[in-house]
Amino acid sequence: MKQVLPLLALACVAAVPLAAPAQTYPSKPVKIIVPYAPGGGTDVLTRVLAKQLSDATGQSFVVENHGGAGATIGPAMVAKAAPDGYTLVAISGVPYLINQYSYRNLSYDTIADFVPVSRFASVPMLLVSNPKFPAASAQDFVKYARDNPGKVSFGAPDQMTHLAMTIISQGTNTQVTIVPYKGAGPAITDLLGNHIPVMLSSSSAIMPYLKDGRVRALAITTKERSPSLPDVPTVSESIVPSFELNAWFAILAPANTPKAVVDFLHAEIAKAVKVQDVQERFRGLGAEPIEMLSQADFAAYLRAERDRWSKAFRDAGMQPQ
């Protein structure tokens, strides 16, 4: 009996972990890294999504801003994070993918080091100006830039806007001085202060200032005019034929994140973007809840988009830094 009792005690101790209830995801706060300064389109839309995910799961989804270095700091942090679903990155699609070609020594691969979770919103981009800028239309902007080569400063919050303005400049035979920023927030601040006269911004970031007349919309980058801004011409119809650009936003996780966690996040985002309050808040910011792709389709879409924009990058004659 003396020999049996210790064995029974050991068996009970060994059984304790098995008897403990299995923890389900998420069992602690989830961090979503936004690789831009506060106030830009990626930031404001991600915060709407994060609040809904928090409400739905009962666990906090916390947004952290880590801007700088062309929006490469945030993704680099997430690429090195534990692949457990508790550190995610919110990307603005095209700038994120272009960075693979914009930097010679990027510390991560935009495809291999991440697993796609889901896209969640898309917004048109707007060519906007400070009302004090003498050009009141896209055509006036082109004329003014031609008459004043190199003297018009253009705010570029990321590589996408830098590339887009390079294409517009080439297509209109103009010269502008491109001023880089760590995100749309700081660029918009300088636009409002008339430190830069013109920039490209997502409608989600700039819409509040359009509504109160603090900025002027010169053109929209979509293929057709927006129903919410019917008087704003497209870039294609006004200054650069066939030009089209849409910003879209997505959540990625570190590579090797368990499929069950990715599936859970994908499903929760799919539900979140169908919530009426989320849709209303997105649309109030000029954004549309995006159609859901399966994870496999989203992965294929990412690869195709990276190939498409790398060609545009090369065709524009831009060089990696």
Q: Confirm whether 25 is domain-assigned.
A: no
Tell me the CATH number at 91.
Answer: 3.40.190.150
Same domain, residue pair 116 and 95: yes
Place of tokens 């013109």: 198
3-state secondary structure of 152: coil
Same domain, residue pair 89 and 142: no
What residue ranges of the chain have pLDDT lower than 70? 1-23
Whether the CA torsion 111, 112, 113, 119 is positive or negative: it is positive
At CA 176, angle to CA 171 and CA 179, rounded to 5? 125
Residue 16's pLDDT is: 40
Q: Confirm whether 263 is domain-assigned.
A: yes
Whether the CA torsion 137, 138, 141, 142 is positive or negative: it is negative
| Residue 208: domain span | 124-238
Q: Rounded to whole angstroms, how far apart are CA atoms 265 and 253?
A: 10
Closest C-alpha to 302, from 236, 226, 248:
248
Same domain, residue pair 35 and 78: yes
pTM of the model: 0.77
Residue 23's pLDDT is: 54
Residue 168's pLDDT is: 92
The gap between the terminal CA atoms of the chain, to the nearest Å, is 76
Same domain, residue pair 129 and 233: yes
Q: Rounded to whole angstroms, how far apart are CA atoms 270 and 55?
A: 14
Same domain, residue pair 118 and 58: yes
